[in-house]
Chains A and B, each alone.
Chain A
């Protein structure tokens, strides 16, 4: 969810809304407005849908067919038969209407046509509803198509990340194997730092860089390197990116088991003279 920091007295609501929309876009992957979805449904349907399922020009065909087949409707009231825009003619018709009724009764005809007119109107009123239903269906199908596409992409992304994690885990497992002749087994510290061999300026600089990168350790961690802690330290350091991996992410082949094991039976790791794992 969005988290805003309000630093000043001036709050820009539009800016906040922009941030919120950006956040939504980020979460959804693709942020389509209703208009965009409508446009996609009209224009790019075939990109997202199986054309055998829903035709991309369905709406257009429905609209065309409806317009072509729409019969004209007439309002039919009891006066419709006798209507005219000529005043005189209307007067004559009104005058002669009783005479007309002597010959036949127009009322059933008027009633039937009135009902028919209403039915036509009802039908015409239903047509837009059908259209709307189909329209909404197409929109929703498009939206679902887009969602499915996004989800597929996410699944692919997660699967590749999972694959990477698995390879990394295998590599880390391989790190703790002994490699013969790489470095002598870790010796417990003798208490002071004087037992170290003299080091060149490059070595000293490299160690300082590494120390800066990792932060300063507590004295007991730095000097009291029990073998078990050393192994854990190696895992941590290599987890940070120093894993010696062969091509394809596989760990190097496991060598012969050596006798150089610590008191917990763990194999030794490469260490600098100050007890830190080395970057080999």
Chain B
């Protein structure tokens, strides 16, 4: 079997969510198929500047074919285009112009995918919102599987993506909430889809005591791992934790791992250790009492999965549907939406040993059942088999037309932000109406 993985950036040094996701999947599927990665020469996701050489490269034994980006992103122009399509009535042409300004525009990459499609069994397109995924899905729909990595942002309300989601062969979702959101936005229920997510390389042995010695952390602590950023909910986390620390002078400390792009409050119970290598990170999680995930928007939190894999409960922001849904489905974490809930849930996890132990055990089970690599690989391979059977039957979905020159310029598209407000948001919980396909997809 021959596969291509198309993604906006690729490299061992790129740690962005979707890019890392693509690399892990490519490396894992390479055990079962011949995999080639098709990507751009860009390294920076803000400018898409061509920084890597064009041509074929090898990353961890996987061939990587890079194509140049035709123009860098102009932030001002992109901002204007975004305001137009997100906040105002607009046309299909405006949306295509927005996509072009977002980038990374690489027509050569799309041409290559089209040329080599006949030699490939399937093409995995990562990140629905970028140029390569949209054009790739339209040019080679018969081979395209989409890994959307969608978050709840206005882009999902753009009309051009509806046709993409309805015309690809299959969609590999990260979570049940992502699937519910995409299906509500694009009505693509007929397209085969499966909730896969991503596995994680959990070390066989972790040593919490080693972490405590190395970083001189003696007291019990809760941990946050990730970029320390207001957009990740860290400001709220600090506010809540400082109030909690005042209420419970002998409670848990808070250890932060990751680079900070916002000021961290100076407090004897908050310890920022900066960016740590993987070994230290896993030791830290193993040494912690629990992981706190304060983020409002996540399509899938790898660090939460890692905490569960190590038997640590998670305290998540309940306003993030995905995290809340995972906490409920796994029965391995609690969630909060305001300070009172934060204090109560943190105290419960801190003080109630049986609850902590049970949640931790559930987390480990949940990870083993859904997110170990053999499970992830099997879901991909099963989907490939299913699509091959469909190939044999000759069934095909035509690519939807976007209309003629004039139709594309009619300002009939609603503002994407307005569309987003009409898309229901909630955690997908077993037993609720939104979860009717839960067991089938799991």
Contact = CB atoms under 8 A, between A and B. Distances in A.
Interface residues of B, number: 21
Nearest to A25: B340
Given A13-B333, A17-B334, A20-B348, A6 B328 contact: no
Given A24-B340, A24-B341, A2 B334 contact: no
A12 B431 CA distance: 13
Nearest to B327: A13
Given A12-B331, A13-B327, A21-B341, A1 B355 contact: no
B75 to A, nearest CB: 18
A4 interface: yes
Contacts of B354: 5-6
A67 interface: no
Contact of A6 (B341, B351, B358): B358
Given A9-B358, A21-B341, A4 B334 contact: no
A94 interface: no
Contact of B334 (A1, A13, A24, A34): A13
Contact of A24 (B328, B333, B344, B355): B344
Contacts of B358: 6, 9, 11
A23 B341 CA distance: 10
Interface in A1-46: 1-6, 9-14, 16-17, 20-21, 23-24, 28, 34
B106 to A, nearest CB: 31
Given A1-B347, A1-B351, A11 B359 contact: yes
A33 to B, nearest CB: 9
B355 A4 contact: yes
Given A6-B358, A11-B355, A11-B359, A16 B348 contact: yes
Q: Most chain-A CB neighbours within 10 Å: which of B348, B359, B429?
A: B348
Contacts of B426: none
A2 B331 contact: no
Category for how many chain A residues contact B: 20 to 34
Contact of B344 (A1, A11, A14, A34): A1
Contacts of B352: 3-4, 6
Contacts of A13: 327-328, 331, 333-335
Interface string B331-363: 101110010110011011001101100110010
Contact of B348 (A2, A10, A12): A2
Nearest to A24: B340
A4 B351 CA distance: 10
A56 B362 CA distance: 50
Interface string A175-194: 00000000000000000000
Contacts of A10: 331
A14 B355 contact: no
Which residue among B327, B334, B344 has the maximum number of chain A CB atoms within 10 Å of its CB?
B344
Contacts of A21: 341
Nearest to B357: A6
Nearest to A31: B340
Contact of A28 (B340, B348, B362): B340
B176 to A, nearest CB: 15
A118 to B, nearest CB: 14
B341 A14 contact: no
Contacts of B340: 24, 28
Contacts of A4: 348, 352, 355
Contacts of A2: 344, 347-348
B355 A6 contact: yes
Nearest to A10: B331
Contacts of A6: 352, 354-355, 358
Interface string A151-192: 000000000000000000000000000000000000000000
Contact of A14 (B328, B338, B359, B362): B328
A17 B334 CA distance: 7
Given A13-B331, A13-B333, A20 B345 contact: yes
A13 B352 CA distance: 14
A34 B333 CA distance: 24
Nearest to B328: A13
A9 B331 CA distance: 11
Contacts of B328: 13-14
A16 B332 CA distance: 12
B290 to A, nearest CB: 14
Given A13-B331, A17-B335, 17 more contacts: A3-B351, A4-B348, A5-B354, A6-B358, A11-B355, A11-B359, A12-B331, A13-B327, A13-B328, A13-B335, A14-B429, A16-B348, A16-B355, A17-B334, A17-B345, A20-B341, A28-B340
Which 7 A-B pairs rank lowest in CB-CB distance, beginning with the nearest? A6-B354, A11-B331, A20-B344, A24-B340, A1-B347, A11-B358, A13-B328
28 contacts: A1-B344, A1-B347, A1-B348, A1-B351, A2-B348, A3-B352, A4-B348, A4-B355, A5-B354, A6-B352, A10-B331, A11-B331, A11-B362, A13-B328, A13-B331, A13-B333, A13-B334, A13-B335, A14-B429, A16-B348, A16-B355, A20-B334, A20-B341, A20-B344, A21-B341, A24-B340, A24-B344, A28-B340
Interface of B: 327-328, 331, 333-335, 338, 340-341, 344-345, 347-348, 351-352, 354-355, 358-359, 362, 429
